[in-house]
Amino acid sequence: SVCGKNIHPIRMEPCIIYNCRLAFNLSGFPPVEPAMGSLEPLPSFYEKNDAKTDHPSILKRSESKPLLAYGKQECHGALIKLSAHDYELVYRSEGGDQGALCSYEEIIVVCVPYDKSRAPVRAVGFRVREHARIEQDPCPSKRYMDIIRE
């Protein structure tokens, strides 16, 4: 959990990221932990002007398929503001210090807070890199889903 003992969010609020889905397309440790989660752009993401980014890999369309049909073109989650130090801890905990071997890449997404009085925010999300991405999402474990809901 991002709110573990060593991480101290400055702000956290629920949000929606349109044109992305919550994917479970990073192989975990089956059968105990079949898959890990990430953001995965939907086809509609590539049609939006805000899809332009300094990360050229984001422009590559994914072949990753969800376990079940995905109804809405949105992902609900948390917009979390961290200090630079805490972000570095999260980044490293996700393998960000492994260079080309890292399973995740940073992508820029637009988060729309549930609180309509707050403006949308461009934020960093994690997507599974092409070399680590599995084609079909397996069902995540109950333990992993409990962590996400926390």
What pLDDT shows up at residue 97?
82
Nearest to 94 by CA among 150, 143, 26: 26
Q: What whole-number percentage of the chain has pLDDT above 90?
A: 35
Whether the pLDDT of residue 122 is over 90: the answer is yes
**Mean pLDDT on 2-7:** 68
Cα three-residue angle 99-79-27, rounded to 5 degrees: 45
pLDDT tens-place string over residues 53-93: 444 444 566 667 777 777 788 999 999 999 999 999 999 88
Q: Per-residue b/e over 117-147, b at no fewer than 16 CB within 10 Å?
A: eeebeebebbbbbeebbbeebeebbeebeee
